[in-house]
Every structure is written in structure tokens, then in C-alpha cells.
Amino acid sequence: MKTIGNVLWFIFTGLESAIAWFLLGLLWCVTVVGIPFGLQAFKMARLSVWPMGTTVNTDFGKHPIANVIWLVFGGLFLGIGFFFAGVIWCVTIIGIPFGRQCFKLAKLGLTPFGATVS
């Protein structure tokens, strides 16, 4: 079931999201200062390809300054966007698993520094 969910996610949401995150990560990595932020974008790209069956554990206290900078420069909007996408997915019963994945991406999008994806 996890594989079927991942394939459907990849077709409807994952490919576009992963490409966007990958390009954003490349853009961040152009500067030396942005490399840590680009690596977090690559983490989001990897998760947005196959999110079903993975867990996200966030630890804001591990890198609080980097997480605050991330929140200010787009993380808050990213989290809100994924949250609303999850709510829209959850309107139908069939979309609930995809909505849960959006909530997972929102959690990682808010505070990616110190977060582990397993």
C-alpha cells in the first residue's frame, strides 16, 4: 500500500515539488552563506519524492538561529502553504493519506535544521 501511495503521490504532487525544491537548493548553494539552506532544500526534495512510510522528527533547539532565519526567509509561508494543501487534500476520504504527507512536509518546512527524516 505504501508503494502505491508513493507512486500516486509522485504523479500528482511529488515530481513537481521535488524539482522545485531541487532548483531552490541549487539557487541557495550558489553562495557560500546559503549552502546550509540549500542542503535543507535538498532534504525537502528527497522527502517530497517518496514521503509515504517516512517519519520526520524536528528538533528546533538543535539549530535555533538557522531555524529562525529559515522561518523569516520563507519557512513560515512554506509551512502554511503545505498545511492548507493538506487541508484541501483531506476534504475527501481518498485524499487523507496525501493530506497527512502535506502535514509532514509542513512540519519539516517550518524547522528543517536539526530535523531527521527516517
- Residue-wise pLDDT for 73-86, tens only, equals 878 888 898 899 89
Judged against a pLDDT cut of 80, whether residue 99 lies above it is answered with: yes
pTM check: above 0.95: no
Per-residue exposure over 82-107, b if at least 16 CB sit within 10 Å of its own CB, e if not: bbebbeebbeeeeeebbbbbbbbbbb
